[in-house]
Amino acid sequence: MEKKQPINSIYLTALAVCAVVLNIATIYDALIYAVVVGMVFLIGLSIVSMIDKISDNHVRFILYSLISAVLITILKVLLGYFENPFIVFATENIETAVLPTLILGIYPIYFENTFTTKNYFIKIIVMAVVWCIFTAIYGAVIEIVGFGTFANMTLGFEGLEFFQLPYGGMFVIATLALIFNIIRRTYVKRKKHFDTLVESYKIVIKELYEKESISQDMLDDKGGRK
């Protein structure tokens, strides 16, 4: 079977935010979704990583989905005890958090070839952090541009109605994905450049060592020419 091409993780994060585009209207909503999804994603994948390499991708996805559903059910029950109006409002549809969790899980589960045992946990932490930053920025932008407020403080202008609708939300997500992708590509390019430099220096050092050992062979025990 043809080898699968890894999808860009930034794109996957953007698609994950799309799934909760209707539920995020303020920075508070965004932060709650970011934390809930990030936590469930990390816990779920840590558990599923135990059966890496020994089971089919679909089996791991099934297990990950069930763990995510259980964790979100528990979180929904626990968040029900909070009486803060912002939390109550933001967690009204918190069960939809299962969708971004499942979308984010596709990358480590279906493209596990790109994940080595050494960097597995670091990579999923990076993915969770990128998700949190992406969602928080999205929430802030929608609140400012769509509603003319930030953290429920009025900013002196009325928001644009277009950005209160999901179509405007998708427009913002696309723009954020574009910006994040530019940053990612710059980082990848620099890293590649650095790796190429390291490799070229390694070759130069190896050549120098070889020259040194040859010249050592040409000398006798007392340091004179043979």
What residue ranges bind another protein (CB under 8 A)? 1-2, 4, 7-8, 11, 14-15, 18-22, 57-58, 61-62, 65-66, 68-70, 72-73, 76-77, 95-96, 98-99, 102-103, 105-106, 109-110, 166-171, 173-175, 177-178, 181-182, 185
Which letter does DSSP use for residue 119 in this model?
Answer: T
Query: Both tokens of residue 37?
Result: 């999804």
Residue of 100, 102, 80 lying closest to 91 (CA atoms): 80
| Beta-bridge partners for 153 | 150
How near is the Cβ of 139 to another protein at its closest, in Å? 15
CB 164, min distance to another protein, A: 13
Nearer to another protein, 1 or 153 (CB): 1
Choose between 46 and 73: whose C-beta lies nearer to another protein. 73
In whole angstroms, the minimum distance from the beta carbon of 191 to another protein comes to 16
Q: Phi/psi at 187 (nearest 5 deg)?
A: -65, -45
- Least distance (Å) from another protein to the CB of residue 214? 47
What is the SS3 assignment for 77?
Answer: helix
Q: How many CB atoms are closer than 10 A to CB 141?
A: 19
DSSP letter string over 162-193?
GGGSHHHHHHHHHHHHHHHHHHHHHHHHHHHH
Closest CB to another protein among residues 57, 154: 57
> Quick one: 15 or 39, whose CB is closer to another protein?
15
Task: Please identify, using beta-carbon distances, which residue of 55 and 154 lies nearer to another protein.
Answer: 55
Cα–Cα distance for residue pair 32/136, rounded to 1 Å: 9
32, 51, 29: which is closest to 40 by C-alpha?
32
Rounded least distance, CB 123 to another protein, Å: 18
Q: Which is nearer to another protein, 154 or 186 (CB)?
A: 186
Q: How far apart are CB 155 and another protein at their closest, in Å?
A: 24
Main-chain dihedrals φ then ψ at residue 118, nearest 5 degrees: -65, -40
